[in-house]
């Protein structure tokens, strides 16, 4: 009898099935009310006493093997059916793919880079942690210069000569130190200033600064370059330049674009004037050229700088600059359709 049980164990362990019905028939054969296991348990009383222990262990082994086989085959076949239902019907709609979206800062930065690349400007980058020379002194801002107070700086406490850059002009200094004219480059990047955070200002923001140095560069070249940029970026061709002051350019100017007064938003943004300030610019001061190893008697150049955040707020009608750095997915999803 024990040999018969062992033969059934081998049959159970080697059994395979391709359908759920075959598994059910197997289950009934061994585990059903009239199955073989019940017959074997009924024979237990006829087994000699010296064989009862081995007989009991063997029949329990058979029962466990049969139950495990049924469970394994059922799970396998059910998963197979589920997969066939899921992937077998090619008319089923595909699973939706969530597409990401570019950040408005990246959108505007890429647009600016694309516009200036068309007229020969390359892109230069530099460190966000700067030294005093590249951020201030080389840009005609020596120690104790009153213009340093225009920019509230984050200094690294362990070294007063190291700071978080307050503008990307420091990248221009590094570029001039390592490249000979003609130079035509723009420097996009994040900058830091110790300012109170509000809906209109932040302690960090993004800039793009441009630099063009060559022989015979004039203020007229600067104006035409900015005219081209505003037309391409905003679709507005009317600009004006107002005299201003920057330590590293002379003469210097603020650039306004005529936005118009067609809507209530236009009145609010331009304070009823129709003009909107977008950047600062000027001719590079000869001292800056000399500090960077460029002969100011042979070369001249112009520079300009604008805030990417401000342009993003303007183009996308965003009311609060803090929304650009809060990573609110509901806000960012609005830009899925924008390249």
- Is pLDDT of 72 > 80? yes
178 lies in the same domain as 258: yes
- Domain holding 149, by residue range, is 104-335
Tell me what the mean pLDDT of segment 33-40 comes to. Answer: 74
76 lies in the same domain as 131: no
pLDDT tens-digit readout, 200-238: 788 899 999 999 999 999 999 999 999 999 999 988 888
- CA distances for 219 relative to 3, 134, 189, 246, 262, angstroms: 106, 25, 25, 15, 32
- CA distances for 198 relative to 202, 277, 319, 322, 323, angstroms: 6, 19, 11, 7, 11
Least confident of 30-34, 37-41, 315-319: 37-41
pLDDT tens-digit readout, 103-134: 899 999 999 999 999 999 999 999 999 998 99
Domain boundary among 33, 59, 87: 87
122 lies in the same domain as 74: no
Distance, CA of 250 to CA of 281 (rounded, Å)? 9
CATH code of residue 126: 3.30.930.10
pLDDT at 249: 94
259 lies in the same domain as 182: yes
Distance, CA of 186 to CA of 112 (rounded, Å)? 9
CA nearest 17: which of 30, 4, 35?
A: 30
Per the prediction, the chain carries an average pLDDT of: 85
Strands 162-164 and 239-246, how do they pair? Answer: unpaired
pLDDT at 48: 74
Q: Tell me, what DSSP letter sits at residue 96?
A: P
Residue 136 and residue 144 in contact, taking contact as beta carbons nearer than 8 Å: no
Q: If you count DSSP H runs as helices and E runs as strands, how many of each does the chain have, helices first?
A: 12, 9
For the chain, the distance separating the N- and C-terminal CA atoms, rounded to the nearest angstrom, is 79
Structure tokens at 247: 């330590």
| Measured torsion, CA atoms of residues 328, 331, 333, 336, in degrees rounded to the nearest 10 | -130
Does any domain span residue 99? Answer: no
pLDDT tens-digit readout, 246-300: 989 999 999 999 988 888 877 877 888 889 889 999 999 999 999 999 999 999 9
For the four alpha carbons of 323, 324, 329 and 334, in that order, the dihedral sign comes to positive
pLDDT at 82: 59
Number of domains in the chain: 2
Q: Tell me, what DSSP letter sits at residue 172?
A: H
Q: How many other CB atoms are found less than 10 A from the CB of residue 219?
A: 15
194 lies in the same domain as 232: yes
Domain boundary among 87, 116, 135: 87
DSSP sequence for 180-228: PSSEEEEEEEEEE------SS--SEEEEEEEEEEETT--HHHHHHHHHH
Strands 204-214 and 239-246, how do they pair? Answer: unpaired
Name the more confident of 72 and 126.
Answer: 126
Peptide bond connecting 251 to the previous residue in cis, omega within 30 degrees of 0: yes
167 lies in the same domain as 81: no
202 lies in the same domain as 293: yes
For the four alpha carbons of 108, 109, 110 and 115, in that order, the dihedral sign comes to positive
Name the more confident of 294 and 69.
Answer: 294
82 lies in the same domain as 109: no
Name the more confident of 180 and 159.
Answer: 180
62: confidence class by pLDDT, cuts 50, 70, 90: confident
pLDDT at 83: 58
168 lies in the same domain as 76: no
311 lies in the same domain as 170: yes
Task: Supply the angle between the helices 2-14 and 49-87 in degrees, to the nearest 10.
Answer: 10
Tell me what the mean pLDDT of segment 170-186 comes to. Answer: 95
Stated length of the chain: 339
CA nearest 68: which of 33, 25, 23, 36?
A: 23
Structure tokens at 233: 């970026």
pTM score, whole prediction:
0.69
117 lies in the same domain as 194: yes
**Burial state string for 300-332 with b = 16 or more CB within 10 A and e = fewer than 16:** bbbbbbbbbbbbbbbeeebeebebbeeeeeeeb
């Amino acid at each position: 009898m024990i040999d018969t049980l062992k033969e059934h164990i081998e049959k159970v362990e080697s059994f395979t099935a391709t359908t759920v019905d075959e598994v059910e028939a197997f289950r009934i054969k061994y585990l059903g009310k009239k199955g073989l296991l019940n017959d074997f348990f009924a024979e237990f009383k006829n087994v000699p006493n010296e064989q009862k222990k081995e007989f009991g262990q063997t029949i329990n082994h058979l029962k466990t093997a049969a139950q495990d086989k049924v469970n394994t085959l059922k799970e396998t076949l059910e998963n197979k059916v589920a997969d066939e239902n899921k992937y077998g019907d090619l008319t089923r709609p595909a699973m939706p793919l969530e597409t990401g979206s570019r950040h408005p800062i990246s959108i505007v930065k890429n647009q600016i880079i694309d516009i200036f690349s068309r007229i020969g400007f390359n892109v230069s980058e530099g460190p966000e942690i700067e030294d005093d020379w590249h951020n201030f002194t080389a840009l005609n801002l020596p120690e104790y210069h009153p213009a340093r107070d225009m920019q509230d700086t984050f200094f690294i406490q362990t070294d007063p000569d190291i700071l978080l850059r307050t503008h990307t002009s420091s990248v221009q200094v590094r570029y001039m130190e390592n490249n000979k004219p003609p130079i035509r480059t723009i420097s996009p990047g994040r900058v830091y200033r110790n300012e109170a955070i509000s809906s209109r200002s932040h302690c960090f923001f993004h800039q793009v600064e441009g630099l063009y140095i060559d022989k015979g560069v004039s203020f007229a070249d600067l104006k035409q370059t900015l005219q081209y940029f505003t037309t391409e970026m905003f679709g507005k061709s009317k600009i004006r330049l107002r005299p201003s002051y920057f330590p590293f350019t002379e003469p210097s100017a603020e650039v306004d674009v005529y936005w118009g007064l067609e809507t209530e938003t236009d009145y609010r943004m331009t304070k009823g004037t129709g003009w909107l300030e977008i950047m600062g610019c000027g001719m590079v001061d000869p001292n800056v050229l000399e500090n960077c190893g460029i002969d100011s008697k042979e070369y001249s150049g112009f520079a300009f700088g604008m805030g990417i955040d401000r342009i993003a707020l303007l183009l996308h009608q965003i009311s609060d600059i803090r929304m650009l750095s809060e990573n609110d997915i509901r806000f960012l999803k609005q830009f899925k359709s924008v390249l």
